Homo-oligomer: A and B are copies of this chain.
Amino acid sequence: MSLRHAVLGMLASGPASGYDLMKRFDLSLGKVWTATQSQVYGELAKLAADGLAEAAAEGPRGRKEYAITGAGRDELLHWMTGVDPEPPRRNAMLLRVFFLHLLPAEQAVAYLRRQADLAAQRHAELAALADLAEAGEDGQEARFGRIALEHGLRLHALGQEWAAWAEDQVGRA
């Protein structure tokens, strides 16, 4: 149930509307947890029903701002420190690797080379995002965003190196 905690975590920095939250999902947060508009509005309503958030203010155009409650903060803190995060259990790229023996060696190699290219591309995109972040605000919130981003950078570098190594392994068949 981490969508709930993603929303709660953003609300913990101050009241926000569904529309505000979506912007954060589309920007930085979406790199580690995605959500659709319909999920965000739905979750906000449930959070309010469960007493973890409350409708705090109404603005123009039907805008509704929600604020985290004490119970919401408790729930968030419990999730952050009291429960070990589940590692991702699905990776479509590696699933294909398991079946690469079904392809002629030449196509298996092409697949691995393509993965190296994709990793390089994603690394470059993240690096561009990092540059933007560099120029932006600082403070504790930005610091941890930068730390998460560094994980992504290292991950894509790993992807590139691993794919090159794998290509070599297949070459020596």
Contacts and interface: CB of A to CB of B under 8 A. Distances in A.
A137 interface: no
Contact of A97 (B76, B93, B148): B148
A20 to B, nearest CB: 16
B140 A169 contact: no
Interface of A: 2, 5-6, 9, 12, 28-30, 32-34, 76-77, 79-81, 84-103, 107-108, 110-111, 114-115, 118, 122, 139-141, 143-145, 147-148, 150-151, 154-155, 158, 161-162, 165-166, 169-170, 173
If over half of A's interface residues share one DSSP class (helix, strand or loop), that class is named, otherwise mixed; here it is helix
Contacts of A5: 95
B155 A169 contact: no
Given A97-B147, A150-B166, 11 more contacts: A2-B92, A6-B95, A9-B95, A12-B102, A33-B89, A33-B91, A34-B89, A76-B99, A81-B103, A140-B173, A150-B162
Most buried by B among A28, A85, A89, A122: A85
A166 B147 contact: yes
Contacts of A2: 90, 92, 95
